[in-house]
Amino acid sequence: MTPKPDSALLIVGHGSTVNPDSSAPNLERADEIALRELFGEVHCVFWKEEPSMRQVLHLIDRDDIYVVPNFISEGYFTRTVIPRELELTGPVTQRAGRTFKYCEPVGNHARMTELLMRRAAEVAPGVPPSETTLFIVGHGTNLNDNSAAAAKREVERIGQIGGYAEVLTSYMEEEPLISKWDQWATQPNVVVVPFFISDGLHSYQDIPVLLGIEQEITEAASQRSVFRNNPYRLRGRTLYYSSAIGTEPLFAEVILDQVAAFDQTHPA
């Protein structure tokens, strides 16, 4: 990417009021990108932490601002909450003397398929995919019909590439619910990859309880000495649970790609 010293990069994350690890992938990607000196400034803002989206005009010096949602789904947050809080009116918004360029969320990027498959292979080394059910778990919500679409799309693509006996979507808050994983999976091995940005509240604390690998909500990942004890012998299967896809360092490239894609589709 050609350096943009007169532009700022703004990474928008969800954040959490209860889990200190939720914002970490956003901040880590921002640090990585800042080191490359491609932008005049690199900042993160959050929905549930500080700095908030509402503080963006005070946080940033530059007038030209690329906004990349570090969100998986093109759904409730990217279509309702972020535009509302940043007062965006479309892909390009002029506001208070600034130009906001609203890029696609990271979860829409074509590399998600490759990253999900790599994460699945890493968490279950030596386990034959031909005897494995792979679950891609999304959040799911009744607030936006499109929120579950990203996970469905990736499952379709992984299915087309082939290798796994079975590739299924499931969700925390929508059917098919991940809590019933043993009803959906037909294979002896089950690999579950959370299609989430961080190992935060949902991915690290909620889903393990729904899977049955934890009896109750544990402490946050950063406050425990062992991340996971894969595999788990559970409900007659061998279960492997990976960390969230968004913790992958290559998400820095994905963020930069979303900026480049914006410039291609919205030439100055």
Partner 1 sequence: MKRNLNAALDAWLQQGFRQIGQIVIHPNENGYMLTHEADTERTDLTLYTRATDARALSTLDEHGVFRPLKTAPTLKRGWKLFLPDLAQLRLAVDAFYPAMLGSFFSYQTGQLPAVPLRETLNRQSGMYAVTKKLTDTQANALVGESCNSQSGCLKLLLWKISEETPITSLPPSELDPAQYPQSERGIPLLCAEACNLLVAKAREVVKKSASPG
Interface with partner 1 by CB under 8 A: which residues?
Answer: 15-20, 27, 31, 47-52, 54-55, 57-61, 76, 80-81, 84, 96, 143, 220, 223
Smallest distance, partner 1 to C-beta of residue 177, A: 19
Closer residue to partner 1, CB minimum distance, 49 or 214: 49
Q: Least CB distance from residue 238 to partner 1, whole Å?
A: 34
What's the min distance (Å) between Cβ of 32 and partner 1?
A: 11
Minimum distance, C-beta of residue 55 to partner 1, in the bound complex (Å): 4
**Cα end-to-end span (Å), the chain:** 16
The Cα diameter of the chain in Å comes to 61
CB 202, CB 139: distance < 8 Å: yes
Q: Which is nearer to partner 1, 93 or 230 (CB)?
A: 93
> Shortest distance, CB of residue 80 to partner 1, whole angstroms?
6
Residue 231: φ, ψ to 5°: -85, 165
Could you give phi then psi for residue 76, rounded to 5 degrees? -55, -45
Nearer to partner 1, 57 or 217 (CB): 57
DSSP string, 41-93: EEEEEESSSSSBGGGHHHH---SEEEEEE--S-SSHIIIIIHHHHHT--SSEE
Which CB atom, from 52 or from 93, has the smaller least distance to partner 1? 52
Q: At what angle do helices 24-35 and 251-265 cross, to 10 degrees?
A: 70
| 18 vs 217 by CB, closer to partner 1 | 18
- Whole-number minimum distance, CB 20 to partner 1, in Å? 5
Structure letter (DSSP) for residue 37: T
**Measured from the CB of residue 108, what is the shortest distance to partner 1 in angstroms?**
21
CB-based contacts of 257, cutoff 8 Å, min separation 6 = 109, 111
How many Cα atoms occupy the beta-carbon half-sphere of 7 within 13 Å? 19
Question: Quick one: 59 or 149, whose CB is closer to partner 1?
Answer: 59
What is the four-CA torsion angle of 101, 102, 108, 109, rounded to 10 degrees?
Answer: 20
Q: Whose Cβ is closer to partner 1: residue 220's or residue 245's?
A: 220
DSSP structure class, residue 148: T
